[in-house]
Amino acid sequence: MKIPSWNLIFAIAAVAFGLVPQNAMAQNDEVSIKQRMLERIASVDALKLSGSVGENNKGFLEQRAMLNPTQTKTMNDENSDRKALYTILANRLGLSVAVVGQGRADSIREKSATGVWIQQTSGQWSKK
């Protein structure tokens, strides 16, 4: 089964925004999640560029080297917010969380900086 691309998922979501009223709480949650992710983006990028974490084929960060407690918290917080966001999108689009995560992983692989560990759909890890 071919997994929809992340861009397709966002396009469908954009249509859904205009046609389907959203639950106010879910909308607030989504805004809060995205804000937290933006606030930690520099820390996440630093972890990825150092090779300490990589982007797996499920749309989550995965540990690649020893992390200190602060780094572990950053990785876990990011993964928690990603899962929550994927869940919101999956519910909105009628997809599984796994499909949304895999679609996001495809997008991340394409956009990742040189030197970042990425996992292919086959499961093989390599540096971009």
Domain ranges for the chain: 6-127
Over range 8-15, report the average pLDDT: 52
CA dihedral 8, 9, 12, 18 (to 10 degrees): -130
Q: How confident is the model at residue 50 (pLDDT cuts 50, 70, 90)?
A: very high
- Rounded Cα gap, residues 12 and 121, in angstroms: 23
Decide if pLDDT at 20 tops 50.
no
pTM (predicted TM-score): 0.79
Over range 93-119, report the average pLDDT: 97
Enter the tokens of residue 66. Answer: 């020893």
Q: What is the pLDDT of residue 84?
A: 97
Decide if pLDDT at 108 tops 90.
yes
Decide if pLDDT at 24 tops 70.
no
Give the neighbor-by-neighbor strand order of the sheet with 61-63. Answer: 61-63, 53-55, 117-119, 125-127
